[in-house]
Amino acid sequence: MSQSKSAATEPLWPALRTGATGPFLRQERAERTREQILHCAARIFAERGYERTGIKDVADEVAMTKGAVYFHFPNKQALAVAVVEELYSRWPVTLEAVRGKGLSPLDTVIEMFNAATTAFLEDPIMQAGTRLQNERAAIDVELPLPYVDWTNLISMLLREAAAQGQLAEHVDPDVAARVAVAAFFGSQHISDNLYARADFAERWREVRDTLFPALRARPAATRGTTGARGPAGGRAAAGTRTARSVTPR
């Protein structure tokens, strides 16, 4: 009983009570500050582009001194690289979350693009990273290569889809990945330039609903027109319901 009383009055973990003085807490606070700076910088890069963004603008936005910003990022180049790297570090996390939904590989692809669409509309890191990549030729530091990881990710998922018989026979997964990524980024780019992305959700739905039905294997019952398949020349017997999935060959 006296024990519980002393527990209530004595700080169990003095460092927690005296503020962020321990090295661990100091580091945690520094990371939070770095993140704040990064997000404010992203908002400004997204709005004004690289050239017209200054460290001073970022410092003002985050209500810190320029010195405080320089403590975390030695220069504007480092800030731009950090924004782009932050963007690319997110996709494996998104993929894990989408994988967790237990969708088929083809629907996983669609859901990844849906997630990217939401990020384009809502996430300053995505908007800034994209703007910086579009300006990469004029930026005096090397940014990570754009589109490559994303295309590889979509290729990998589409190869899984092919292995599970989800893709129409004529579809090459690597070609389809390049086409899907180009259509996605192309429609995003047009929407950004014409309407500040106000119509992008709608434009993406159009791309999605035009492209993916063309990639998807059709149910066996409707594939008989070539006459090349199965004992009944590919035609299912009248009134027979056939499974939507196709056995991989």
Residues lying near ligand LUB in the complex (CB under 6 A): 87, 116, 126, 129-130, 133, 146-147, 149-150
With b for 16 or more beta-carbon neighbours within 10 A and e for fewer, the 54-67 pattern comes to: ebebbbebbebeee
- Closest chain position to ligand LUB (CB): 146
The single residue listed with the structure tokens 């027979």 is 240
Of the pair 38, 116, the CB lying nearest ligand LUB is at: 116
CB of 119 to ligand LUB, least distance (A): 7
CB of 113 to ligand LUB, least distance (A): 7
For the record, the structure tokens of 243 come out as 């499974």
Residues 6+ apart with CB under 8 A from 48: 57
Of the pair 73, 120, the CB lying nearest ligand LUB is at: 120
Of the pair 79, 87, the CB lying nearest ligand LUB is at: 87
Of the pair 126, 176, the CB lying nearest ligand LUB is at: 126
CB of 126 to ligand LUB, least distance (A): 6
CB of 162 to ligand LUB, least distance (A): 21
Among 102, 86, 76, 96, CA closest to 35: 86
For the record, the structure tokens of 176 come out as 């389809």
Query: 212, 171 in Cβ contact below 8 A?
Result: no
